[in-house]
Structure 1
Amino acid sequence: MVQALVVYESMFGNNRALAEAIAEAVGGVAVEVGVAPEALPPEVDLLFVGAPTHALTLSSDATRWAAATEHADGPLVSNGRSMREWLANLTGAEGVAAHPFGTHVKVTWPPSSAARSIGKKLRALGCVVGEPKSFKVTGFTGPFAPGEVERAKLWARTALSGAPAR
């Protein structure tokens, strides 16, 4: 049986909701990046990694601060370690099937997103990386565009069906 782990960074709760939906779809566990293990447990064969898109990529200290001061009307979901930091320290991911995802407010050209940046970092860690997926929110703090959460669940189930056991 495939063991799935969904690690997410979320400022306003959108990526948390997405991660929870993905975990439910694949029978996995969703974990906020601040408490995610730095050594991937050996029983994990399927990894989903998601974060919000900030300035066309993964968040940085500066973009997290800007989001918090310009858009937050309450506490942030992820206010500790960032996805960028977690990926820089992650071990034990070699050969794991990994699927990057993220949220974005609008489509840009050339297409760029946190999901693409996550995918590059996962490849560098030796993961077998699926196509990055981005899911649209209608504003900086959400909500999701119609149908996006269901699209994420379908995408996750498709990833599960093609996941090789480690």
Structure 2
Amino acid sequence: MQVLVVFESMFGNTEIVARAIGKGLAGSCEVDVVNVDDAPAQWDGVGLLVVGGPTHAHGMARPATRKSARQQVEGGVRSSTGVREWLSALPVASRRVPVAVFDTRLRRARWLTGSAAVGARKLLLKRRGVPLVPPESFFVDAGKNATVLCDGEQERAEAWGTMLAARLLATAAG
């Protein structure tokens, strides 16, 4: 079954999580992990679409929050366009497509930080996406000079990918 993992990443943490999820999925599925800058304009033919991005200002990144991120990092950010814009331009699928969403955010209560995954899920529902699992968050710590993935989160992301594959295959088997 073909799985597409699309990520938006500013500092590299969301990309690490996306690639770990892809690694977990790859044990059972054919997987492509792509930066949102390179994501296809269509999603017909995809057996599962997994979408993730960083949480900025309580939700999905916007042009203004990406600009702010660019000013914080030497060498530029990983994604120049965003999941919000990509999903908004994505056509309604010709059939219902299983989807899973994730984000990276500070390890605090979701009501304090918000969640990019929740917003991505809403946009996917409008385009005939069917949630396979609830939105998932992976945690980062913000230091003085960098934002880093918390210990154990990369392994947890790979395990989440493995669980997604199992759930997808069980759902397909009926």
Please confirm whether the aligned pair reaches a TM-score higher than 0.5, indicating the same fold. yes
How far 1:20 sits from its partner (Å)? Answer: 0.9
Name the SS for the 1:143 alignment partner: strand
Residues 95-134 of structure 1: pairs in structure 2 closer than 5 A? 95-110=96-111, 112-129=114-131, 130-134=133-137
2:103–2:116: 8 Å Cα contact kept in structure 1?
yes
How far 1:108 sits from its partner (Å)? Answer: 3.7
Gap regions ≥5 residues in structure 1: none
How far 1:6 sits from its partner (Å)? Answer: 0.3
For 2:21, the equivalent position in structure 1 comes to 22
- Distance in structure 2 (CA, Å) of the matches to 1:61 and 1:109: 22
Query: What are the superposed Cα offsets for residues 37-58 of structure 1, whole Å, 9 maximum, x if unpaired?
Result: 011141x111110000000100
1:101–1:115: 8 Å Cα contact kept in structure 2?
yes
Name the SS for the 1:110 alignment partner: helix
For 1:46, the equivalent position in structure 2 comes to 48
- Distance in structure 1 (CA, Å) of the matches to 2:39 and 2:58: 24
1:46–1:160: 8 Å Cα contact kept in structure 2?
no
How far 1:94 sits from its partner (Å)? Answer: 4.0
Name the SS for the 1:138 alignment partner: strand
For 2:69, the equivalent position in structure 1 comes to 67
- Distance in structure 1 (CA, Å) of the matches to 2:25 and 2:94: 19
How far 1:93 sits from its partner (Å)? Answer: 6.9
How far 1:109 sits from its partner (Å)? Answer: 4.9
- More helix, by proportion: 2
Name the SS for the 1:150 alignment partner: helix
Change (3 A) 1:156 1:93: farther
Query: What are the superposed Cα offsets for residues 36-91 of structure 1, whole Å, 9 maximum, x if unpaired?
Result: 0011141x11111000000010001111111111x212221101x21111001112
- Distance in structure 2 (CA, Å) of the matches to 1:160 and 1:58: 25
2:141–2:148: 8 Å Cα contact kept in structure 1?
yes
How far 1:142 sits from its partner (Å)? Answer: 2.8
2:4–2:33: 8 Å Cα contact kept in structure 1?
yes
Which is worse superposed, 94-103 or 45-54?
94-103
- More strand, by proportion: 2
For 1:77, the equivalent position in structure 2 comes to 78
> Share of identical aligned residues, percent?
35
Gap regions ≥5 residues in structure 2: none
Superposed structure 1 runs of 4+ greater than 6 Å apart? none
Number of residue pairs matched?
A: 162
2:23–2:161: 8 Å Cα contact kept in structure 1?
no
